[in-house]
Amino acid sequence: MSTTTVQKTKPVFVKVDELKPGKSGYNLTVRVVESNPVTPATRKNGSLTRPFQTPRIAECLIGDDTGCILFTARNDQVDVMKTGATVTLRNAKIDMFKDTMRMAVDKWGLIQVTDPVSFEVNRQNNLSLVEYELVTVPVQ
């Protein structure tokens, strides 16, 4: 039996202003500007819509020196994404929610707390405030 070794490629880190709608596999280092927990949905009678499955969700504004974007943190990610923390996101993806971009990391990605960075977050370039319309082009 022969053993083959696969050469791993180094991750390519991008800046926030390079993010595109509907893409995935992004690696970036960002600072958490603010983190706001989302309350679970309730019915008119006051009961939870899913009483046995109440996921913890927080909307976090993250960014770097080129711009910022909303990040949806789920369950254990909420504990990591605290206001003021600097994190490295691996294999992050862009989800479209109501025609705007949101960043998320699913089970195939990774969120790590890193050393604080020296940049100031550019809040003037918020990519989540830009509305997109995805159009499918038929192949001829």
**Given a cut of 80, is residue 50 above it in pLDDT?**
no
What's the confidence (pLDDT) of residue 123?
84
pLDDT digits (tens, 9 = 90+) for 65-109: 888 888 888 888 888 888 888 999 888 888 887 888 888 888 888
Within 10 angstroms of residue 128's Cβ, the number of other Cβ atoms is 17
pLDDT digits (tens, 9 = 90+) for 117-130: 888 888 888 888 78
In Å, what is the CA distance from 62 to each residue of 15, 72, 106, 123, 137?
A: 12, 10, 17, 9, 32
The answer as to whether 136 is a domain residue is: no
Looking at the structure of the chain, the number of domains it has is 1
The answer as to whether 46 is a domain residue is: no
**Given a cut of 70, is residue 35 above it in pLDDT?**
yes
Question: For residue 64, what are the domain limits?
Answer: 16-38+54-127
d(CA 140, CA 131) in angstroms, rounded, equals 28
**Given a cut of 70, is residue 46 above it in pLDDT?**
no
The answer as to whether 21 is a domain residue is: yes
DSSP 3-35: ---PPPPPPPB--GGG--TT-EEEEEEEEEEEE
The answer as to whether 133 is a domain residue is: no
d(CA 13, CA 28) in angstroms, rounded, equals 5
Q: What is the CATH number of the domain that holds 66?
A: 2.40.50.140
d(CA 85, CA 66) in angstroms, rounded, equals 18
For the full predicted model, state whether its pTM sits above 0.85: no
pLDDT band, residue 24 (cuts 50/70/90): confident
